Chains A and B, each alone.
Chain A
Amino acid sequence: NAGVTQTPKFQVLKTGQSMTLQCAQDMNHNSMYWYRQDPGMGLRLIYYSASEGTTDKGEVPNGYNVSRLNKREFSLRLESAAPSQTSVYFCASSGGPPSAEQYFGPGTRLTVT
């Protein structure tokens, strides 16, 4: 039982390049989330998916797109990376209401030069 997995663990991009961060969970959870963590800012929600087939914007969605590929997988895409997107990205999942306890993946450290 791996929980929540993310790939890659580290990535360096040049400004304007694109990439997709992958996330998968094996807990049969309905809901999945993408967060970014910047120094001193806590975690901020980028996008979430309440259930398979649905996605919604969070607090900081600009510059990102997401795909809920199936119940297990939720990907985050940067179409044209910018230095402001240098951050640590976390994926999480939860079973959804009434118990919405979140479980997090190990994170992806992204640097955009």
Chain B
Amino acid sequence: GIQVEQSPPDLILQEGANSTLRCNFSDSVNNLQWFHQNPWGQLINLFYIPSGTKQNGRLSATTVATERYSLLYISSSQTTDSGVYFCAAASGGSYIPTFGRGTSLIVHP
């Protein structure tokens, strides 16, 4: 099955800083999502983005399917951005996503 790797595993920022999270996948994808797991454990949908670029407020995401990676950009980070960011991707005939191990983000005030 598809392999999904996320980097960096951990990230610590000061409030106001920008960051880029990366998701590499081993096969062409038909399904790619980014999630934020908040400190209370809730999984929040950020982007459904098998290809192209999307923006939602301070967050944006780009998937370059031909080069097998996706990037999540967080601008002007806030303490409420803290948590774990997961990428999940599916390929081939399966639409069932495989999750990466996540990037743990801490934003200090």
Contact = CB atoms under 8 A, between A and B. Distances in A.
A43 interface: yes
B96 interface: yes
B11 interface: no
A100 B97 contact: yes
Contacts of B100: 42
- Tell me the dominant secondary structure on chain B's binding face: strand
A33 B96 CA distance: 9
Interface stretch (A11-19, A63-71, A101-109): A101-109
Contacts of A42: 86, 99-102
Contacts of A90: 43
Given A42-B86, A101-B48, A103-B45, 9 more contacts: A31-B95, A42-B99, A97-B30, A98-B30, A100-B96, A100-B97, A102-B97, A104-B35, A104-B43
The 4 closest A-B pairs by CB, nearest first: A100-B95, A104-B43, A42-B99, A101-B48
15 contacts: A31-B95, A42-B101, A42-B102, A43-B88, A43-B99, A44-B99, A45-B98, A48-B96, A58-B96, A94-B95, A96-B95, A98-B30, A100-B96, A101-B48, A102-B97
